[in-house]
Amino acid sequence: MTNLPRTARIEALTGLRGIAAILVVLFHYSGGFLPNLDLAEHTRFVVKGYLWVDLFFLLSGFIMMHVHGAAFGQTLHAPVVKSFLVSRFARIYPLHLAVLAGFLALELAKWWLMASGISKLDVEPFSHDKQPLALATHLTMTQGLGLHDSLTWNGPAWSVGTEWAAYVVFPLLALALHGSRRLFPGLALGLVTLLLGVSHGGRDLDVTYDLGLWRCLTEFTLGAMLYGLYQSPRAAALGRTSVFVLVAAATVAAMHAGARDIVIVVLFALLLVTLACNQGWPAALLGTKPLVFLGEISYAIYMCHMLLMETADTFSRAMTGRALGRYLDVSASLVVLLGGLLLVALCSAWLYRRIELPARAWIKRCALGRTLQAA
């Protein structure tokens, strides 16, 4: 069993989350945004990049149990539940709202460009996935609950609403899981069966605005159950560096070969728990300060990268009449990709320090008052 304190932050998992966020950006920026940098001919690793969101869901359930599971293991107390929900709301909503405001400003800029005759864009502002009515579901974090027939406004934010739903049910989930580990194998089998159902037999887990809620809740619950392995006597064996390296290599190979999505998610679960239990060089490497900071700003990376991409694309269409990446060759596309990744990281660090942290502290201070330190 690991000798880390129960509530100590597992730095390696934070570093892993940062790497996963960058890989999501790579997935969105290559191919569609930069069509001449389509890596599918060489590897399916990038094409399968949407699955890193599944790792986020698994991680979220695991970390919630690690940090808050004990608070709900015996019974539910209203002040503790309130403190937890306020803390989670403060974690996700301010940045979600700020980035949504950025998308709204971008649509207003498009409208002004066209109304003033400065430029004519090929897509009307406030149309298609940017319809005003869809703002309501984003503001209420319900955009991922099957209310739309496509992604709207900030596409990646579909997962924010589903994650919030997972937070709402977490106190009951933690209470139900406490002391019922004998039922875990059957429950895990049922959850994997549900994943098979929403993913067309495990082939396609890229379900978002329609079945994304079930994708999230299922994997969040699996992540919470994985925490039992971290606490079990098996942790020492699972934490061997050789075991982690084997699982990591299998994960990369499966993604490269384009294995079924359900197989990759199972490998993600093993990757998570073997890294959490590891105390060797893999944990030390992923727990270095740069990677941990990347993990800390990973939510900002995930939330803002599409806004930056659409802003660059709109500017290009307004100035040249064509999409930014359409006429770039492979070399130029690679330069734009690397520059985009750097810009996303810089903007995310600013958002984290200037919006995320101050807004989180302000909401908790206003909502919890003297109980803030217990949140």
Structure tokens at 286: 């992923």
Q: What is the pLDDT of residue 4?
A: 39
Identify the pLDDT of residue 7: 53
| Structure token digits, residue 212 | 């994304």
Return the half-sphere exposure (C-beta side, CA atoms, 13 A cut-off) of residue 228.
Answer: 16
Residue 34 forms beta bridges with which residues? 30
What is the token pair recorded at 154?
Answer: 């900030």
Q: How far is 254 from 271, CA to CA, in rounded Å?
A: 13
Indicate the domain borders of the chain. 16-374
Sequence-distant (6+) residues with CB within 8 A of 4 are 10
> Could you identify the residue written with the tokens 């589903």?
162
Going from the C-alpha of 353 to that of each of 72, 80, 164, 361, the distances in angstroms are 31, 27, 22, 12
Q: What long-range pairs does 281-290 form, CB within 8 A, spacing at least 24? A: 281/241, 282/12, 282/241, 282/244, 282/245, 282/248, 283/11, 283/12, 284/12, 285/15, 286/11, 286/12, 286/13, 286/15, 286/16, 286/19, 287/11, 287/12, 287/14, 287/15, 288/15
H helices within 30-119, ranges in order?
52-68, 78-115
Q: pLDDT per position in the chain (375 positions), as tens?
A: 344 344 578 999 999 999 999 999 999 998 778 888 877 778 899 999 999 999 999 999 999 999 999 999 888 999 999 999 999 999 999 999 999 999 999 999 999 988 887 777 777 888 888 998 899 999 999 999 889 999 999 999 999 999 999 999 999 999 999 877 777 888 888 998 999 998 888 889 999 999 999 999 999 999 999 998 898 888 889 999 999 999 999 999 999 999 999 999 999 999 999 999 999 999 999 999 999 999 999 999 999 999 999 999 888 888 887 888 888 888 999 999 999 999 999 999 999 999 999 999 999 999 887 554 444
DSSP assigned state of 204: -
